[in-house]
Amino acid sequence: MSQLTDEELMRKVQGGYMVEGPEDMTEGYRKALRVQLTVQADTELMSAPSYWMAARHAPSTNTQVSAHAIIQDELAHANIAYRLLEDIGESKERLVYGRQPYEFKHPYGFDQPLDNWAELVVATGFFDRAGITLLSDVHENTSYAPLKRALVKIGMEETFHLRHGEVWMRRLAKAGGEARELVQRAVDWMFPMTIEWFGLPDDMKRHSGQLDFKLKGLTNDQLRQVWMASTVPLCEELGLDAPAHWDEDKSEYVLDYPFPCQYDAVEKHWAFDEGEISWDAVFERWKKRGPMNEIYVESVQRSRLDVQRWLTA
């Protein structure tokens, strides 16, 4: 552990100093990095069962292969992020196999079922773009060198995922009829889901140290804008309705619905007509987790103890 104070390390990293390992960290830095890496690792990990259970809807052997290639990438990314956590004193074994489903830190979007091929491709188009938006910012700005290096690979692969999503969204939207309707329905629930993913607006954000320690560069609202700047034009190009538009006066994207608002996970429906709710109500919904939370976590953990027992018998 470094002898510096948090403030001294903050000043150093703001000046370009790169942290290489625990020996360079303060406890404050380690904690902020641990929170960031846990969210990253859990998100990559839980995207896997979510995509995996949806991959059975793939319409051909080729698309089965591409869907599973995405899942393989996500698992590798999760493994890399947990490995980085191990370097700073966390146990990968405990994090993956020793936690209850509600203790995982992935976004609420990956607690939802993906019920058809259209939902899977919009998920890769929207959720993976959110992943790239967040991780590109980290890659560009992080002061933690091992993470910066790891993100080269992760960025390349996430780009492939979102291209895959976009190509298929375009294909289904162009086909019209039921295919188009299914894509639109997926956009209807996944667009606000991804917007919410970026978290509290900046004027309410609690101080986390992630910006001060240069673990990221952009704020939540800035990241939301980056995501919309590519997603809204894509939807417009495909003739899909997305509940946001470019506001000339404000020079930014503006949402066309009350934010945040309530979500009915069974109906996959956002209650725009019920108006804005508090962020406390959002946190409460997140805390309860979504309908697939236990099923997804169980699918990752289920064989571990059995196989361990066979091996040590």
Query: What are the phi and psi torsion angles at 148 (to 5°)?
Result: -60, -45
Residue 301 sits in the site that holds other proteins (CB under 8 A): no
Residue 150 sits in the site that holds other proteins (CB under 8 A): yes
Instruction: Specify the residue for token string 């370097």.
Output: 87
Q: What letter represents residue 22's amino acid?
A: P
Q: What letter represents residue 95's amino acid?
A: L
Residue 5 sits in the site that holds other proteins (CB under 8 A): no
3-class secondary structure, 158 = helix
Instruction: Specify the residue for token string 């209650």.
Output: 271
Q: Interface with other proteins by CB under 8 A: which range of 17-25, 119-127, 200-208, 257-265?
A: 17-25
Residue 92 sits in the site that holds other proteins (CB under 8 A): yes
Site size for other proteins, by CB under 8 A? 20
Residue 19 sits in the site that holds other proteins (CB under 8 A): no
* Residue 257 burial (CB count, 10 A): 17
CB of 30 to other proteins, least distance (A): 14
3-class secondary structure, 263 = strand
Is the CB of 21 or the CB of 275 nearer to other proteins?
A: 21
Question: Of 182, 205, 201, which Cα lies nearest the Cα of 268?
Answer: 182
Residue 80 sits in the site that holds other proteins (CB under 8 A): yes
**What is the rounded CA–CA span in Å between residue 86 and residue 301?**
19
Is the CB of 118 or the CB of 151 nearer to other proteins?
A: 151
Beta-carbon contacts of residue 215 (< 8 Å; ≥ 6 apart): 32, 33, 36, 138, 141, 142, 143, 144, 209
Mask: binding to other proteins, 47-76, rule CB under 8 A, as x and -?
-------------------------xx--x
Binding residue (CB under 8 A) for other proteins from 31, 57, 83, 180: 83
Q: Interface with other proteins by CB under 8 A: which range of 83-91, 132-140, 216-224, 257-265?
A: 83-91
CB of 14 to other proteins, least distance (A): 23
**What is the rounded CA–CA span in Å between residue 124 and residue 147?**
23
Q: Interface with other proteins by CB under 8 A: which range of 105-113, 145-153, 205-213, 289-297?
A: 145-153
Binding residue (CB under 8 A) for other proteins from 11, 56, 149, 269: 149
Preceding amide of 146 cis, omega within 30: no
User: Residue 306 class from Cβ within 10 Å (0-12 exposed, 13-18 middle, 19+ buried)?
Assistant: exposed
CB of 264 to other proteins, least distance (A): 39
Question: Which residues contact other proteins by CB under 8 A?
Answer: 20-21, 23, 72-73, 76, 79-80, 83, 86-87, 92, 149-150, 152-153, 156-157, 308, 311
